[in-house]
């Protein structure tokens, strides 16, 4: 049973660390919204055109 504790505790610590990071990332939830705001405020026209191309491509065909 001692070997089980040697294996289980490190695995549990790693699992808790990973799940905490994933939860914090989801809780923030600002990924695409922040990117969209950054693109909108960008002064380079070619960046804004590429963003529009990505948006049009991701929309379902009509």
- Mean pLDDT, residues 35-53: 82
Helix, strand, coil in percent for the chain, rounding step 5: 85, 0, 15
Question: pLDDT at residue 11 above 80?
Answer: no
Question: pLDDT at residue 8 above 80?
Answer: no
pLDDT tens for residues 15-30?
777 666 655 555 555 6
Long-range contacts of 39-47 (CB under 8 A, 24+ apart): none
Question: Could you tell me the pTM of the whole model?
Answer: 0.40
- Mean pLDDT, residues 42-59: 81
Confidence (pLDDT) at 27: 55
């Amino acid at each position: 049973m001692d070997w089980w504790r040697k294996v289980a505790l490190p695995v549990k610590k790693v699992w808790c660390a990973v799940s905490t990071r994933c939860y914090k990332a989801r809780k923030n939830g600002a990924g695409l919204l922040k990117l969209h705001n950054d693109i909108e405020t960008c002064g380079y026209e070619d960046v804004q055109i590429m963003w529009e191309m990505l948006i049009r491509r991701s929309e379902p065909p009509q």
